[in-house]
Every structure is written in structure tokens, then in C-alpha cells.
Amino acid sequence: MLVSTKWLKEYVNTQDLPPAELGEKITRAGIEVDAVIDRSEGLANLVVGYVTDCVKHPEADKLSICQVDVGGGEIDQIICGAPNIAQGQSVIVARPGAKLPGGMKIKKAKLRGEVSNGMICSLQELGIETKLVPKSYAEGIYVLPEKAEPGTDVLSYLDLDDTVLELGLTPNRADAMSMLGVAYEVGAILGEEVSLPEIEYTEAADSAESMLSLEVDAPEANPLYVAKVVRNVKVKESPLWLQQRLMAAGVRPHNNVVDVTNYILMEYGQPLHAFDYDSLGSGNITVRQAKEGEKITTLDDTERTLSAHQLVITNGTDPVALAGVMGGANSEVSDETTTVVIESAYFASDSIRRTSKDHNLRSDASSRYEKGVDPNRVIPAAERAAQLLAELADGEVLAGSLVFDQLDKQERIVKVSPDFINSRLGMKIRLEDMLDILSRLKFNTEAVNNQLIIEVPTRRQDIQIEEDVVEEIARLYGYDEIPATLPRTDATPGGLSPYQAKRRIARHFLEGAGLLQATTYSLTSEVAATQFALEPTETTRLLMPMSEERSILRQSLLPHLLESLSYNTARRIDSAALYETGSVFLKGQDELLDEQEHLAIVMTGLWIDHSWQGEKTAVDFFVAKGIVEGLAEKLGLELSFERGEMDGLHPGRTAFILLDGKRIGVIGALHPSEQKQRDLKETIVVELNLATLLTRETEALVYTQVSRYPTISRDVALVLSNIVEAQTIEGVIRKAGGKLLKDVRVFDLYEGDRMEQGKKSLAFSLRYFDPEKTLTDDEVNAAHEKIIQALTESGAELR
Amino acid sequence: MEARLQELKNEALAKIQAAQTVKELTDVRVAYLGKKGPITDVLKGMGKLPAEERPKMGALVNVVRAEVTESLDARMVLLEEQAINEKLQSETIDISLPGRPAKTGNPHPLTRVVEEIEDLFLSMGYEIAEGPEVEKDYYNFEALNLPKGHPARDMQDSFYITEDILLRTHTSPVQARTMEAKGGEPIKIICPGKVYRRDNDDATHSHQFTQIEGLVVGEDIRMSDLKGTLSIFAKKMFGEDREIRLRPSFFPFTEPSVEMDISCFKCGGSGCNVCKKTGWIEILGAGMVHPNVLEMAGYDSKRLTGFAFGMGPERIAMLKYGIEDIRHFYTNDVRFLTQFQRTEL
């Protein structure tokens, strides 16, 4: 909502406050002033000029040489390039020394050999947006509607010596979508009275009923409809003051009839519509629900197909307007219009909201109906329109109105006690201060038995319950006056749940291990939605996505994390190791999705950079595996790994991760073709069901006494078929090792040229230990021998 | 014999002085004092002496031995020290060379902000509540006093999956769920999480972002309690000398509703580019829980009251660290992420 402070003063005394200060007061009282716009910013030395003579420039087709009376008896020659310049016009002249927005300074100049003493201006050159400039002047200079005294200062003549407050309205404050509404708000803040427009006009002898009949077949959606008929109107340009007020309010002037409806929309917040009576062709207005499939072409030249729940205004047969949203092209007021039907109506907000949404069509009218208009302004707005059409379009207002009225216009009563207000606020506001605030708001209030009985004006539809009154009192008393206290509740322990605490532990471990935490989007494309998913299900698609790229809920974190890697490598950051925790969304039993918290890791490029101390190391499967193992240890869990395959991963370098024999994750190298497609080098990925890891109960930590006895090591080097996995051999060793074997560790792998084809060498370090005594060589040898025997039996050769 | 001993002694003392290394000196020790050395030989030859000369000679041998040993030990101390010094000299390193980097990662800046807020409220006895990101319309809107067709639903154009299921547009449904689950009991929670709105991504909008909300419900919770709580939050988060200011606002789930500004942490209130010359920065929205919200969750709104507040960690991180584009949080540029490594404490 744009509020001209100059216009506002017509309804309320703003106590000569500078606009910025007024804006600050309005903001602090609850309606945020988003911007304070000085309409004269950058403008100086502009005067009204009168074109006494205008001839074509001999050297240039598009230029005219004008003689302009700029007041004080001076006639200046000005060259003008506008197509609509003509003799006998009153125009805006920027004389040498004048300033225009953007820091432009006007100087005397020569154009194709002719002297030009300044410039004749368009409205755009004065800083007015093109979309607000009347269509007839959009391509050229602005011609003042009435002849004005040459030399007059343009800023005051055009009301540009004005400051506009841009209000950011919350949906509850529909009352402030009008100048009168803002005037009431300012009046409440400053303690000033509001003066309403005085409505006076003479009526013709003929009655409106003699020309028009009205029928409303949808009283629920349209409980109040008023129509007035104005005859013999002269459709023309509006007077300057009206055009300027509309432009200040962000509305483009059209002609006096349309401008009057828009002016009252801005003044009262009540949408009006003007029909060309002759185009209606029936002398009848019928309001009804649309017929399914019925068509109407609206004022924006769009043909729209209607549905039965939409409300239309008809001429008894065909729709002539989409009620409360937009008029029909077939009954539009044109220059030839002589008789006008003015509609002022109350349409139910949900009906308008639905229609506006169906057609994706929002207008100044629909946005006000959606939020609810004041039932008590519908009739005065129609009267005001009649008055202005009589004044500005020389119209003859027919006597009376056509009225259908089933609307409840009663004020709401809200009862609240002063104690309630103070206890909610934690304050001690005196009764008389409360009564003062309510009277400034123009809420009629009676204080009876420690109870305030408040009659809420219908313009304030947002005041419904006691708490609403608490807010009104608080905001006008001043939020700064509220003391700062703390809740007087019992002390509570608070704290993280075990799940939340463990999630933090996991995160800290991963960061300590060298991974950066990343965050990616949950919405993805159809293709990426199930890629790398551990347990892919049917995908979940949005009803109205913004783009295909963000249309489906992800089932794996990896696709977007890999995109992040590609994003980095495309910027020459070749090494990156990221992790993310976040939800994946699977179809479940419930109507809600099965959301599971996952953990994913991606790494590419170097793990250890080349340095003066040693060689670089690239990321590999085992770097990632080490991190997963470390994480499991930190969480007190035992994971196992099982060779597996997954689309997009290297078939020889992929494993599933198991907890209690159940698959909970995957680890692997990205498939070379996938790497190529993503422009990545060797890349390792991990995805784990984090929720499973974190919900698993861990055992209590019990200390084991540190032994006095030493451990004894024995190494064993084996030659094996290279398809045998270390895990298998370790199993053989552990099984044969008995209770003295404490630890088994692979310490060497050799698969080079010196080995027989198809063979590899694996070396294990075994540690023996007895917590009760120092082991003798004989005891260790006996245990070790058993292991060697088992290994040999399993097909391994001793090296 | 005596002369021979003197000769040996002088010889040994000379060699001791001549020895330049520990090894040479050790050789001298072995040569003169060893089992096969000349002094031992003299002792062995004592058997040929008359019995009355033997004690005198024995004493003399001991004296010579002691003298040689003493000289040798002294020289040894000297040489060992010399050897250590040489070793240390040779082991000197260039301490200006860089250290071996410790591999380390760090949290995402949003996590950093969220955790800081969580920790502050945890210390004041709050719990952390979480809920689903794919939510029922009921919890996201209806239970929060936003019935179907409510004008405020336009404020947050949503991603629907079916008519009744959508991606949550705020973390408030967690409050609604918590209230429903607590069955009328007092509550003190913080709800962080991801939320989604139908916005085109640009420098200041993101279709996915994070929120963190707080809710306190109890007997006689007043608006002044909200102000006090937010004041503590502002000081802990943005500096002890921060002031707060409440402005009336509107949210369907609170009444009265406020927006909270803090005095600008960059200029202190005199006006700068961070606060857009106003001296104040808008940080969060809050209010007293609307009685309809309490009643819908089964609370007696006459007996129990509450306050709620909510804010956007993206906005806080952008203000705090001067980040210019919200998309940085989601592109995961390593050059961006690694900047949030160090502490500010």
C-alpha cells in the first residue's frame, strides 16, 4: 500500500511531522513502513510552459522547434523530440539549470544547428514509472490537462512535493488497504480525529429503477450489492489532482470514469466497477454462480472458461464481469460511453480467493475482497462514486440505488478485563490509559464491573478475541514499556536426547577425521531421486514443482553431494572430502513418507597433499572405510562389510555395510563412466542409514584391568590365490587361534611381478596374550602352530 | 719393575690425553686396564718377587691403576660431552619449515549457528524437538490457526505432495506435535530443521532453508517473559551490549505478535550498511501462543499460556559473517565451507 502523505492530510492531521518520523511512528505501532519515497527527489527548477508555436525542424524529421512561454514574459526556443508535441499545450519545462532524477542537469544546447533552452519533459523523465503514466502520454511528453499559468513551479502544481510511505501490510491489517484506514491508524497513534469525505450531489428526477433491475441469485457469496446509474457522462481525461493521486498510489490513470472507481478503491478500500450501460444491453444485472464451461473475456483481453463455484455478474443471460476480480471486455467503459452503472458490492472472501486462484488473476479488487472489506463502506462508496462522477464527468445521477442487502453489518462486541490484559503482558497499565487507547482507536468502550465491553468497528475485522485487544493496547501503549522478565516455571533439566547427542558425536568424529560438512537440497530430478538409493521405493513428486530439477524427493544424499564435488572441480578445486546428514524420503505404509536420516560421505582427489616431507596420497576405498570403521568404534558398534554391486559404482570396489547382518549402507568407488560423466577423478562414496546407527543401543562401558603381563607377537606371511579375501583368512586365524590370540592385523600385501600369476602375498601380525601370566615360548608356539596348520589346510602356503 | 710401572703409567696418561673420541679412549682403557693389558701383566709377574716386596708392589700397582682410571674417567666425561654436542649440532633442523598438517574438517556454517542457539537454550533447560519434513496440512497449518482458505496461507506458498501432505513451510508443526504429545503439560523446547517454500532461488531467496523455533508453555507465561528470554538470546548471540526492540507484527499462530530487532552489532546503532542506516536489524518473529493453537492441542488456554519465537539461521549467518548470497549455503564450495573452521570465542 502506497500512502501519499499529502493526500493523507485530507483525512487526518499529521501534526506536520516529517514523513520519515511519521513513518517511524507507524512502524513502531505495528504497520511496517518499508520505504519513505520522496516524489520530488532529484527534481529542481521545473516550470509550467505554454507552447505558443511549434514547427518541424528543417534538419531533422523527428524534432520540433517550439517557442515556449516560460512565464515572466519570456519566450524560450526549445527543441522537442516527442511525437505528441503541439502548439497550445501546457507542458513541463526543464529550463537550463534544472535537475532531473539520476543526477541529470539541463544545459542550453544546440540541436542540429538550432538553439534549445532546456527540455520539455515526459513523466518518465520526472521519475514516474512507465506503467503508471497514462497510456496517451507513455510515448511522449506529458500534456497538462488544464491550461496553467506559465512559470508556475511544477513540483507543487503536479503535487510532486509529496512523500509516499510504502506500507508492508500483514494479512490481518486489511483495514489499512485504504487511505481512510491509514487515517484511522494514524489518528489512533497521534490522538487525532479522522474527517470523512463529505458526500453531496443532486439526483435527477428519474430513478435508477426506471433504467435498471437487479437480481442476486447467490446471496451467500454476494450478500450485498448496490448499483447506481449515472447518465450523460462525458468520458475524458481526469483532472490533474486525481491523476496525480492515482499515480502516487501506484495506479495508472485511464479516464475519469475508471479513475473515479480506482480513486474510491484507494480512498475507501471498497472495490467498485463501472459498466457501460448500453453495452449491457438488457437493463438488468443478475449476480449468480457461473455455469460450468461458460466463457468470459476479461478486461485484460483473456478468454476465461468458468466453473460453477465462481461468481459472475451477468446481464441476465451472459457474464459481464468475473465478480470481484475483473470486469468483462464486453461491458467496458469507453470514450463513447454515456451511461454508467456503478457497482459496489460485498463478495465473500473465500469465493473471490478461489476464483482469483483458479484464474491466476489478482487485481486490486480481488486482493481486498480476499481479505475482507468493511460491510459499512459498501453503500457510502457507491454514493461517493456518484458524487465524483457528477463532479468530474458532468454526470446526471439517477435517483436512488438498486440494492440487494442481506449482510450483517453489526459491530462485534469483545469483552475483556484489565487484569487479563495486564497478566498477559506482565505489565500494570492503568484503566484510564487503556480507555484512552481504545477511544483513540475509535472503539466504543464501556467499563463495567472490572470488564471492558468493546464495540469493534466493522473496519477492524481482525479484532475478534480478548488477545486481539491485548495487542491493540500493547502496541499503542508501546512495546518498549514491556519489562524483561523470565518465565517463572519450575526448573527443568532440558538437554539433548541420546539420539541427538550421538548425532553430534558422529558429526564431530567425521569433522575430526577431515571431512567438511555440506548441505544439499532435498528436492531433485526424477533421474537423481533413486540413484544410489539403498532401498529405492516409488518416488514422491510435488504437485506443482518450480522446475523438473527440483520436483522429486530424494532417496539418497549422494547425487547432490557428487554434484557439489563436480561444482568444486569445475572451479579447479580438485580435492574435496564432504559429508552430509539429512533425510531421505521413502514411500512408507503411512500417508506420510518414511523419512530416514542418512549420512553420506564423498571424497575425490588427494587425501594427503604432496609436501616437503613426503608423497601425496589420493583418496581410496580404504581411506573411506577407515573413517566408517572409526565412526562405528566411536558409536560402540560393530560393522561388517560384504562385497556387492550397485549401479554407478565400480563393481570390483563396492561393499555393503552391515550391522547385525542387516544392510545399512554402501561404500564404493564411483564407476569410471560415472566419474567421467561428472568430470571427477577417482571418487569414493559412502551412504549409511544414520538413524539405524544412532538408535541402536550401546553397551555400558566397563573398564578392563590393565594387565601386568606382556603380549607376544608372531608374524606369518602367506601366499594365496588373489581372489581370497583377507577377511576370510583372518577368520581362519581367529577360529584356530584359541583364547590366547588377542589381535590379528594385516601388515603387508604384495601382488607384484615377483609373485606367481594369480597369487598374492599377505602378511599378518598376530599378538598372543594371557591376562593371568607371562606366556612362555612353548605356549605361544603351540598356539601359533595350530593356526599355521589351519591356514595350510585352508590352502594358504607359508612364505 | 717399579720403573716399568712408572713407564706404563706415563704412557697411558699420554694416550689418554691424546684420545680424541670416545672410541679411542675406550681402546686405551682396554689396552692398559684390560685383563690382557700390561698392568695386569705386572701383577701377574709379582709371583716372582720376594714375599716381603709383594705388598709394597701391590700397593703401587693399585695406585697406578687408580691414577690411570681417574684420568681416563675425567677424559671420558669430556669426550662424551663433546660427542653429544657434535651429535646435537648435526641434528639441528630448519624449524621454519611447515608442520605436517593435521587433517581436519568443520561443521557447515548453518550447523554452527543452529548449535550455538541450541546450546544457549539447552543451558536454560530447554529440550530439542524434531519432526518430519514431509508434513500433514493439519500440523503445518490447521493446528496453527491457519484453516484452509486463511489469507495468511498466501504468505508461504507451499510445495504440496497431495492435497493433505506437503513439505513443511516452517518448523512450527513440531510445536503443534509436541503440544499434542505432551497432553496439557508445560513445555520448553527448541525446534531446528529444514523447511521449504515455493520461491525461486536467488541471492536472498531459497526454496529450502532452515528455521529454529522456540516454544514455552506453562502457567502464567507473560509477554514480558518473552521479552526477557529474547533479550538474553540477543546478548549471548550478538554481544553483551546488544539492545532489543519489539515491534508489533502478525502471525496467525500468535496473538499478540511481535518482530524483534537488535541494535546493530556493526555500528552499535548509529547507522551503517548492515542495518541499512536504521541502527536496528530485524532478527526474528515471536508472540504469545494464540489461544486457538493451545486449545487445538488440548490445552486449557485460560489456565496455561505460552510464547513462541522463530528465526532463520541463514539470515543470522549472513548477518553475522557478512555472507552476501544465500545460495552459498547449498553449493558447498570448499572455499566457502573451510572459512567456518575457527572459533570466535
Q: What is the pLDDT of residues A727-767, one digit of tens each?
A: 999 999 999 988 999 999 999 999 888 888 889 999 999 99
CA–CA separation, B118 vs B132, rounded Å?
19
The answer to whether the Cβ–Cβ distance between B207 and A521 falls below 8 Å is yes
Q: Which of B115, B123, B338 sits opposite A516 (nearest CB)?
A: B338
Q: Output the pLDDT for position A594.
A: 92
Gyration radius of chain A over CA positions: 41
Interface contact A479-B133, CB threshold 8 A: no
**Among residues A334, A335, A380, A382, which one has the least CA distance to residue A230?**
A382
What residues of chain B lie within 8 A of the CB of A416, using their CB?
Answer: none
- When mean pLDDT is compared across A436-440, A609-613, B243-247, the lowest value belongs to A609-613
Other Cβ atoms within 10 Å of A215 Cβ, number: 14
Q: A578 and B332 in contact by Cβ < 8 A? A: yes
Closest to A374 in 3D by CA, of A461, A456, A311: A461
Alpha-carbon distance of A130 to A138, in angstroms, equals 6
Q: Does B246 touch chain A (CB under 8 A)?
A: yes
Q: Which of A231-245, A658-672, B31-45 has the lowest mean pLDDT?
A: B31-45
Contacts of A573 in chain B (CB under 8 A): 333-335
Q: Is the pLDDT of residue B277 over 60?
A: yes
**Over 70: is that where the pLDDT of A349 sits?**
yes
Partner-chain residue, chosen from B133, B162, B225, that has the shortest CB–CB distance to A583: B133
**Which CATH number is A412-474's, of 3.40.50.2300, 3.20.20.70, 3.40.50.360, 3.30.56.10?**
3.30.56.10
User: Does the beta-carbon distance from A517 to B106 stay under 8 Å?
Assistant: yes
pLDDT of residue B155: 53
How close A5 comes to chain B (CA, Å)?
21
Which of B206, B223, B257 to mutate to probe the A interface, most A CBs <10 Å?
Answer: B223
pLDDT score recorded for residue B154: 60
- Residue A487 and residue B257: Cβ atoms within 8 Å? no
Of residues B45 and A172, more confidence is placed in A172
* pLDDT for the residue numbered B151: 66
The predicted pLDDT at position A489 comes to 77
Of B97, B196, B288, the CB nearest to A424: B288
**B330 interfacial to chain A (CB closer than 8 Å):** yes
φ, ψ for residue A465, nearest 5 deg: -125, 175
Domain A498-695 = CATH 3.30.930.10: yes
Q: Given its phi and psi angles, is residue B303 left (phi above 0), alpha (psi -120 to 50 degrees) or beta?
A: alpha
Distances from the Cα of B161 to the Cαs of A116, A538, A552, A585, B198, in angstroms? 65, 14, 10, 12, 13
Are the CB atoms for B55 and B49 separated by under 8 Å? no
Domain boundaries, chain B: 2-90, 109-340
- The H-or-E segment that residue A789 falls in is helix A777-793
Point out the residue among B224, B249, B258 whose CB comes nearest to the CB of A484: B224
User: Does the pLDDT at position B60 exceed 80?
Assistant: yes
Helix/strand/coil (H, E, C) string of A659-690? ECCEEEEEEEEECHHHHHHCCCCCEEEEEEEH
How would you class A54 by CB atoms within 10 Å of its CB: exposed for 0-12, middle for 13-18, buried for 19 or more?
middle
CATH code of the region A2-39+163-190: 3.30.56.10
Strand partners, A608: A617
What confidence score (pLDDT) does residue B152 get? 66
Q: Sign of dihedral through CA atoms A340, A341, A344, A346?
A: negative
Whether the per-residue pLDDT at B56 is higher than 90: the answer is no
Residue B85: its pLDDT value, please? 92
Residue B65, C-beta contacts closer than 8 angstroms, at least 6 positions apart:
B33, B39
Q: Of all residues in chain B, what percent are helix, strand and coil, respectively (each to 5)?
A: 45, 20, 35
Lowest pLDDT segment from A5-14, A306-315, A665-674, B271-280? B271-280
Question: What is the fold of A44-157?
Answer: OB fold (Dihydrolipoamide Acetyltransferase, E2P) (2.40.50)
Collapse the DSSP code of A722 into the 3-class scheme (helix H, G, I; strand E, B; otherwise coil) and give the result: coil
Cα–Cα distance measured from residue B329 to residue B321, given in angstroms and rounded to the nearest whole number: 12
Q: Is the pLDDT of residue A547 over 70?
A: yes
The residue ranges of every structural domain in chain A are 2-39+163-190, 44-157, 203-405, 412-474, 498-695, 712-798
- The pTM assigned to this predicted structure is 0.85
Distance (Å, whole) CA A715 – CA A782: 14
Helix (H, G, I), strand (E, B) or coil at A254: coil
Retrieve residue A749's grid coordinates.
Answer: 600385501
Q: Are A323 and A224 in contact (CB under 8 A)?
A: no
Place of cell 605436517: B100
Instruction: Report phi then psi at B262, rounded to 5.
Output: -115, 155
The pLDDT of residue B9 = 87
pLDDT at A375 over 90: yes
Closest residue to A484, CB basis, from B186, B227, B329: B227
For chain A, the average pLDDT equals 93
Region A349-364 average pLDDT: 91
Nearest to A766 by CA among A693, A712, A700, A703: A712
Q: For the CA atoms of chain B, what is the radius of gyration? A: 43
Instruction: Please count the other Cβ atoms lying within 10 Å of the Cβ belonging to residue A117.
Output: 19
Size of interface A-B (CB pairs under 8 A): 246
Q: Tell me whether A27 touches chain B (CB under 8 Å).
A: yes
Contact with chain B for residue A493, Cβ under 8 A = yes
The minimum CA-CA distance between A427 and chain B, rounded to whole Å, is 8
If you classify domain A203-405 with CATH, what class do you get?
alpha beta
Neighbours of A561 (CB within 10 A): 24
Cell of A758: 594369480
Q: Do A467 and B288 touch (CB under 8 A)?
A: yes
Whether the predicted pLDDT of A683 surpasses 70? yes
- Does the beta carbon of B225 lie under 8 angstroms from any beta carbon of chain A? yes
pLDDT at B323 over 80: yes
Say what the pLDDT of residue A476 is. Answer: 96
CB A265 within 8 A of CB A348: no
Contacts 24+ apart (CB under 8 A), A619-623: A619/A575, A619/A577, A619/A682, A619/A683, A619/A684, A620/A669, A620/A682, A620/A684, A621/A653, A621/A667, A621/A668, A621/A669, A621/A684, A623/A684
Q: Which residues of B touch A171 (CB under 8 A)?
A: 151-152, 154-155, 250
Please check whether residue A590 touches B, CB under 8 A.
Answer: no
Q: What is the pLDDT of residues A384-394, one digit of tens each?
A: 999 999 999 99
Q: At the topology level of CATH, where does A712-798 sit?
A: Alpha-Beta Plaits (3.30.70)
Write a three-state SS string for B181-209: HHCCCCEEEEEEEEEECCCCCCCCCCCEE
B245 touches chain A (CB under 8 A): yes
Fold classification of B109-340 (topology level): BirA Bifunctional Protein; domain 2 (3.30.930)
Give the nearest partner residue to A495 out of B100, B122, B130, using CB atoms. Answer: B122
The H or E element that residue A566 is part of is: helix A558-569
B108 touches chain A (CB under 8 A): yes
Read off the pLDDT band of B156 (50, 70, 90): low
* Parallel, antiparallel or unpaired: strands A90-100 and A617-618: unpaired
pLDDT in tens, B210-222: 999 999 999 999 9
Segment B124-150 shows an average pLDDT of: 92
Task: Calculate the CA dihedral of residues A725, A730, A735, A740 and round it to 10 degrees.
Answer: 170
Quick one: what percent of chain A has pLDDT higher than 90? 84
Helix axes A431-440, A179-190, angle to 10 degrees: 150
Per-residue confidence band for A305, with pLDDT thresholds at 50, 70 and 90: very high
Q: Which of B110, B250, B305 sits opposite A424 (nearest CB)?
A: B305
pLDDT tens for each residue of A214-248: 999 999 999 999 999 999 999 999 999 999 999 99
Instruction: Give me the pLDDT at residue A216, please.
Output: 96
The pLDDT confidence band at residue B74, using thresholds 50, 70 and 90, is: very high
Output the nine-digit C-alpha cell for B39. Answer: 698392568
Q: What ranges in chain B are assigned the alpha helix state H?
A: 2-18, 22-33, 38-45, 54-90, 109-123, 137-140, 172-182, 223-238, 291-296, 313-321, 328-331, 334-337
Q: Does A570 touch chain B (CB under 8 A)?
A: no
A111: buried, middle or exposed (CB in 10 Å: 19+, 13-18, 0-12)? middle
Integer Cα distance of A643 and A723 in angstroms: 12
pLDDT digits (tens, 9 = 90+) for A386-416: 999 999 999 999 999 999 999 999 999 999 9
Question: What is the average per-residue pLDDT within B141-164?
Answer: 82
- Centroid of chain to Cα A487: 33
- pLDDT value of residue A716: 94
Contact of A290 with A306, CB cutoff 8 Å: yes
Q: pLDDT at position A569, please?
A: 96
Integer Cα distance of A120 and A76 in angstroms: 11
CA distance linking residue A56 with residue B85, whole number of Å: 104
The whole-angstrom separation of Cα B216 and Cα B25 is 85
Judged by a CB distance cut-off of 8 A, whether residue B99 touches chain A is no
Are A353 and A323 within 8 A, CB to CB? no
Contacts for B73 with CB less than 8 Å, ≥ 6 apart: none
> Residue B57: pLDDT band by 50, 70, 90 thresholds?
confident
Question: Which residues, in sequence order, are CB contacts of B4 under 8 Å at separation 6+?
Answer: B42
Residue B225 CA to residue B306 CA, distance in Å, equals: 9
Please name the helix (run of DSSP H) or strand (run of DSSP E) that holds residue A386, with its range, or none.
helix A378-392
Contacting residues for B191 by C-beta, under 8 A, at least 6 apart: B128, B129, B130, B131, B171, B172, B174, B175, B178, B211, B212, B213, B214, B215
Interface test with B, best of A349, A371, A466, A542 (most B CBs within 10 A): A542
Q: What integer best gives the mean pLDDT of chain B?
A: 90
> Please, what sign has the CA dihedral across residues B124, B127, B130, B131?
negative
